[in-house]
Structure 1
Amino acid sequence: MAKHLFVLNDPPYGTERSYNALRLARSLLNAKEEVRVFLMGDAAACAAAGQKVPQGYYNLGDMLGAVVRRNGEISVCGTCMDARGMTEERLIEGARRGTMDILTEWTQWADKLLVF
């Protein structure tokens, strides 16, 4: 079983990079692989709770929730959260505030690092 770290940088909407990264993360979890997701920059907004999107449109908060429910881990850059006025209370359930130390630890843990 391989260990995969996803580092997302793009916003939840406006591009499909974060969406496609989470599609792959879920697929790897379904294949019984280990997955961790670190959100930084504009990707911090992917973990915002209570996202409301048009009917039929993907919801990144829900997709991250599926990662957590399949025993994946989610961490959000604390500096990036602060820059965007986000608090831990605004994160989806299962996501936690992160640091560069956590990203460093996770990078050392991973067999494969995927950056989106």
Structure 2
Amino acid sequence: MTRTLFILNDAPYGNERVYNALRLAGALVNKEDQHVRVFLLADAVTCAKAGQKVPEGYYNVQLMLRKLLQKGELAMCGTCMDARGMTEAEILEGVRRSTLNQLADWTIEADKVLVF
């Protein structure tokens, strides 16, 4: 099994880095013998904010994360959450608050690490 770790740094909207990272992660998670993990750092923690409302026809990062959660793992930096005033009550179910130590462990365990 190939283990791929995605590390996302950017806000969910404004550029397409997160969108493209989640598209790739979504494609990989549906392939045979793939294990996908996504770790949200910095402004990317806002990707996991529940209740996102976007204009009709625009991609919705919340929906993309929900699909990933069906087969993959998602975690987010607790320090980054705190810096942005986010609480665990505001995040999508299934995404867990985590630490840099967890990211270090996931990095060691990964066969591939992609940073967006």
Range of TM-score over shorter length: over 0.9
Question: Please, what is the CA RMSD of the aligned residues?
Answer: 0.6
Between the two proteins, the alignment pairs up a number of residues equal to 115
Corresponding residue number in structure 1 for 2:42: 41
C-alpha separation in 2, matches of 1:113 and 1:90: 27
Partner in structure 2 of residue 53 of structure 1: 54
Give SS of 2:28's match: helix
Distance in 1, matches of 2:94 and 2:109, equals 20
How far is the alpha carbon of 1:9 from its aligned partner?
A: 0.2
TM-score by length of 2: 0.97
> Which blocks of at least 5 consecutive residues in structure 1 are unaligned?
none
Q: TM-score, normalised by structure 1?
A: 0.97
Supply the distance in 2 between the matched residues of 1:56 and 1:78 (Cα, whole angstroms).
32
Identical residues among aligned pairs (%): 60
Moved over 2 A (4+): none
- Corresponding residue of 1:7: 7
* Mapped partners of 1:45, 1:16: distance in 2: 15
Structure 2: gaps (5+ residues)? none
Q: Residues of 2 paired with 1:100 and 1:30: CA distance?
A: 27
Letter in 2 for 1:86: M
